[in-house]
Amino acid sequence: MTTTSPRSIRLDALAYGGDYNPDQWPESVWAEDARLMVEAGVNLVTLPVFSWPLLEPRPGEYDFAGLDRVIDLLWEHGIRIDLATATATPPAWLVREHPEVLPWNADGVRLEFGSRQSYCPSSPIFREAALRLTRTLAERYGAHPALALWHVSNEYGDHVSRCWCPESARHFRRWLQNRYQTIDGLNAAWGTSCWGQHYLDFEQIEPPRTATGPINPAELVDFERFSSDALLELFQAEIDVLREVTPDIAVTTNFMSMFRELDYWDFADAEDLVTDDAYPDPSDQDAHIAAALNYGLMRSLKDGRPWLLLEQAPSAVSWREVNVPKAPGQMRVGSMQALAHGSDGVLFFQWRQAKFGPEKFHSAMLGHRGERSRTFQETKALGAELKTLAPITGTRVRASVALVADWDSWWGVSEPESLPSVRLDWLREARAWHAAAYALGQPVDVARAAGPYGEHRVLLVPNLYATTTEQAAALTAFVEAGGQLVVGPFSGVVDHREQIHDGGAPGPLRDLLGVEVDEWWPLADGQIRSVAFDTSFATPGETHGVRVWSEWIEVAPRTEVLATYADGDLAGRPAVTRRASGAGAAWYLSAGLDSDGMRAVLAQVFAAADVPVAASIDTDLEVVTRTDGTTDYTFVLNHGRADRSAPPIPGGRDLLTGAPSDSAIALPAFGVAVIAHPAPADPAPARTIESELLQPTRRERP
Ligand code: GAL
């Protein structure tokens, strides 16, 4: 990140800091906070996220004295502000005066005040009040030199992502009218001739509240789209005010990683900087693998540009059933992983651990024991290390592989009441496919289904249930230009109206994949099925387990069958296929393969794309390279508790220790090295360096 381009964060270093809630502390504590922040290397603080009732104690009556003082104090210490618009939770006076601001759930029950985010996204009263506060804040602080970034609301969709109240119903109708123009258009798209759902007028439509039985799936998916759009409209309305008053200040809202409820492609388009809140579970030994996919999404939302980790826990959170702390070193390696994947900084929730409220057991940079707390010691040490990593600022991650994420498909396959099986979980599939690529040593970007696909040589499409002809055309062009495309089961099923494509699946992907699905054969719970690989695989004849899903497919003449079902009613029938097209090939996986099977297929795909494959699997060791085109910064991360050793990177130097990397790189438990070395002229060899690093190591967990 630099200060040069219009609307980028105003900061010349990697960002370091966290959420700060000075309202929860007497003012006498603030000076100590500022002093210790400096000691910890903090240069960016997020506030005042939940301070609306203090800033506007009564309608239209403002009190900025406290916020003025805290911002000035921080700025005197050289600390900049990620300034929240404070609209994440309305004050009690607003909801008591206008109870219709409160959201309703699908049962038509109004959700009471007393937690946070207690507003209906479609409420004009809420919107007006929020925009008034936003404008007042922008006018007051827009010229303050400490202002680095606008932080709109907070985690849109956290707690309340959908609302079924009468105001949302009116908004939903307007949204539908805009989409379909006429009620006949809607009737045709929703297929209301089924079950007698025909509408005469948009006024007859309600949001899909709990009904007598299964609800029209087209209506459900439209409600998902609408609900994402309703929050986006609110976000955009605040952005418009901020752009009008402070046109030079960058705007963000913090995302929640792979979050089903909001189409983050659209949200990212609206803002200047992508930021994410990441809470991998320290008790999950594979949490870093899912985190790598989350971070791949964050950097891809703006075409590879650096993003920012805006929240993570220094140790335990407070909202899981069991909140396990991070072991010594675990927070550091997790932070380094975010940097490796393109974040230009690390921030936490939160600075000082709360004394009261629902988050008093949530860890903070400064724990209840103050300076003596382990979290303070560890965050202070990390703050110092971040300064040595300054050269990575603004550099980008190189990746040859991308995974397609499409919210329409995600929403479509998660409607519970009308699918062949509810066991096909979009996110679980995406994670399983990503995990296979990760295990083979490749960082994975994320792409839109219709592209652009950038420099990627492999596209992974775990599921594209809803496929449009435009998407199919873009994917076909990718293959013809030499790409390797891998498509998972239950793809190409419906169009954008949730209607089955003529001739059945895979619809507009039929020619590209060279298959037709005759029928879906989801696995019953407990049913065990396998596929057998043919001679084109490294281990011909090997069988691999099938998870969740299988299909009866028919293959077209030029389609190769690479694996067949080995048992059950589909025994002997094709399971995995490939069809060459132009300079590339399209692979189809009609079954959910187990992790070994996924890796075996992807190893073949990578070989075809000339993407190197790690010789051995060690998922605790991760290697990711950021580059500025001249210098590569290769992060070597040990996510495990056993010592590891990575091969040398000749001509390199560890930015953290200054040690040359000409001999083996020793990594203790949760160890990290960040090797700066000359970038190869051709990007492809950079992948080889990463792959070689992975080869000789194979250690078991202790
Ligand atoms: C985030 C939220 C923060 C804090 C944090 C605790 O979801 O934005 O305000 O609640 O979780 O982990």
Is 154 within a domain? yes
Do residues 397 and 626 make contact, with C-beta atoms less than 8 angstroms apart?
yes
> DSSP 3-state assignment of 352?
strand
pLDDT of residue 456: 98
Run of H or E including 300:
helix 287-300
> DSSP 3-state assignment of 617?
coil
Cα–Cα distance, 515 to 493 (Å, whole number):
13
Domain count of the fold of the chain: 3
pLDDT of residue 690: 33
Specify the residue with its C-alpha closest to ligand 1, atom 12: 317
Cα–Cα distance, 551 to 580 (Å, whole number):
21
Q: What are residue 561's DSSP bridge partners?
A: 577
Is 8 within a domain? no
Is residue 480 domain-shared with residue 513, that is, in the same domain? yes
Tell how far the Cα of 465 is from the centroid of ligand 1, in angstroms. Answer: 32
Stretch 75-87: mean pLDDT, rounded?
98
Cα–Cα distance, 206 to 216 (Å, whole number):
12
pLDDT band at residue 696, thresholds of 50, 70 and 90? very low
pLDDT band at residue 416, thresholds of 50, 70 and 90? confident
**CATH code of residue 520:** 3.40.50.880
Is residue 592 domain-shared with residue 637, that is, in the same domain? no
Token output for 57: 């104690």
How many CB atoms are located within 10 Å of the residue 27 CB?
11
- Cα–Cα distances (Å) from 652 to 412, 543, 612, in that order, read 48, 43, 21
pLDDT at 698 over 50: no
pLDDT band at residue 538, thresholds of 50, 70 and 90? low
- Cα–Cα distances (Å) from 410 to 321, 424, 524, in that order, read 27, 10, 22
pLDDT of residue 542: 87
Is 5 within a domain? no
- Determine if ligand 1 sits within 6 Å of the CB of residue 385: no
- Determine if ligand 1 sits within 6 Å of the CB of residue 654: no
Is residue 503 domain-shared with residue 421, that is, in the same domain? yes
Q: At what angle do helices 330-340 and 374-388 cross, to 10 degrees?
A: 30
Cα–Cα distance, 118 to 112 (Å, whole number):
7
Is 171 within a domain? no
- Determine if ligand 1 sits within 6 Å of the CB of residue 20: no
Specify the residue with its C-alpha closest to ligand 1, atom 5: 349
Stretch 608-624: mean pLDDT, rounded?
93
Token output for 388: 């040595």
Is residue 498 domain-shared with residue 354, that is, in the same domain? no
Atom of ligand 1 nearest to the CA of 158: 7
Is 337 within a domain? yes
Per-residue pLDDT tens over the stretch 128-141: 999 999 999 999 99
Is 434 within a domain? yes
Do residues 475 and 588 make contact, with C-beta atoms less than 8 angstroms apart?
no
Longest dimension (CA), the chain: 78
Tell how far the Cα of 362 is from the centroid of ligand 1, in angstroms. Answer: 9
Atom of ligand 1 nearest to the CA of 256: 7
- Determine if ligand 1 sits within 6 Å of the CB of residue 426: no
Tell how far the Cα of 48 is from the centroid of ligand 1, in angstroms. Answer: 13
Cα–Cα distance, 43 to 633 (Å, whole number):
23
Location of structure tokens 């085109």:
629
Tell how far the Cα of 477 is from the centroid of ligand 1, in angstroms. Answer: 42
Is residue 430 domain-shared with residue 543, that is, in the same domain? yes
Tell how far the Cα of 499 is from the centroid of ligand 1, in angstroms. Answer: 39
Is residue 494 domain-shared with residue 475, that is, in the same domain? yes
Is residue 335 domain-shared with residue 474, that is, in the same domain? no
- Cα–Cα distances (Å) from 168 to 98, 206, 223, 263, 569, in that order, read 15, 9, 10, 19, 48
Is residue 649 domain-shared with residue 605, that is, in the same domain? no
Q: Running DSSP on this structure, what letter comes out for residue 394?
A: T
Q: Where does a domain end: 364, 393, 422?
A: 393
Mean pLDDT of the chain: 95
User: What percentage of the chain has pLDDT greater than the value 70?
Assistant: 96
- Determine if ligand 1 sits within 6 Å of the CB of residue 311: yes
Stretch 601-605: mean pLDDT, rounded?
96
311 catalytic, yes or no? yes
Higher pLDDT, 417 or 162: 162
Stretch 4-10: mean pLDDT, rounded?
78
pLDDT of residue 687: 31
Higher pLDDT, 2 or 535: 535
Is 201 within a domain? no
- Cα–Cα distances (Å) from 568 to 519, 530, 547, 561, 598, in that order, read 15, 9, 14, 18, 20
Token output for 242: 């901020």
Mutate to test the pocket of ligand 1, among 256, 349, 362, 363 (most ligand atoms within 8 A of CB): 349
Residue among 385, 277, 297 at smallest CA distance from 341: 297
pLDDT of residue 656: 98
pLDDT at 5 over 70: no
**CATH code of residue 153:** 3.20.20.80
Full-model pTM: 0.95
pLDDT at 512 over 70: yes
Specify the residue with its C-alpha closest to ligand 1, atom 2: 155
pLDDT at 702 over 80: no
Is residue 629 domain-shared with residue 605, that is, in the same domain? no
Location of structure tokens 């105003």:
10
pLDDT of residue 422: 95
Q: Where does a domain end: 393, 418, 447?
A: 393
Tell how far the Cα of 31 is from the centroid of ligand 1, in angstroms. Answer: 25
Residue 19 structural domain: 15-161+227-393
Q: At what angle do helices 217-245 and 183-190 cross, to 10 degrees?
A: 120
- Determine if ligand 1 sits within 6 Å of the CB of residue 565: no
**CATH code of residue 666:** 2.60.40.1180
Q: For the sheet containing 80-84, what is the strand order?
A: 251-252, 147-151, 80-84, 44-47, 15-19, 343-348, 307-311, 275-277, 254-255
**List 56, 167, 224, 311, catalytic entry:** 311
Residue among 603, 690, 676 at smallest CA distance from 646: 690
Cα–Cα distance, 186 to 219 (Å, whole number):
10
Tell how far the Cα of 55 is from the centroid of ligand 1, in angstroms. Answer: 21
The 10 Å CB-count burial string (b at 16+, else e) for 522-538 is: bbeeeeebbbbbeeebe
Mutate to test the pocket of ligand 1, among 82, 277, 331, 350 (most ligand atoms within 8 A of CB): 277
Run of H or E including 148:
strand 147-151
Do residues 551 and 563 make contact, with C-beta atoms less than 8 angstroms apart?
no
Location of structure tokens 């449009």:
468
Token output for 548: 């969740």
Is residue 519 domain-shared with residue 406, that is, in the same domain? yes
Per-residue pLDDT tens over the stretch 539-570: 777 899 999 999 999 999 999 999 999 999 99
pLDDT at 686 over 90: no
Is residue 580 domain-shared with residue 632, that is, in the same domain? no
> 416 Cβ partners below 8 Å, 6+ apart?
422
pLDDT of residue 534: 87
Cα–Cα distance, 316 to 327 (Å, whole number):
10
Do residues 365 and 348 make contact, with C-beta atoms less than 8 angstroms apart?
yes
Atom of ligand 1 nearest to the CA of 317: 12
Do residues 193 and 292 make contact, with C-beta atoms less than 8 angstroms apart?
no
> DSSP 3-state assignment of 462?
coil
Do residues 208 and 220 make contact, with C-beta atoms less than 8 angstroms apart?
yes
Backbone angles phi, psi at 261, to 5 degrees: -70, -25
> 40 Cβ partners below 8 Å, 6+ apart?
16, 365, 376, 379, 380, 383
> DSSP 3-state assignment of 104?
strand
**List 56, 155, 385, 429, catalytic entry:** 155
pLDDT at 682 over 90: no
pLDDT at 462 over 70: yes
Is 172 within a domain? no
Q: Where does a domain end: 327, 361, 393?
A: 393
> 134 Cβ partners below 8 Å, 6+ apart?
85, 87, 152, 238, 241, 242
Cα–Cα distance, 234 to 140 (Å, whole number):
22
Rounded to a whole number of angstroms, the CA Rg of the chain reads: 26
Per-residue pLDDT tens over the stretch 201-218: 999 999 999 999 999 999
Stretch 355-368: mean pLDDT, rounded?
98
pLDDT of residue 614: 86
pLDDT at 685 over 50: no
Is residue 82 domain-shared with residue 99, that is, in the same domain? yes
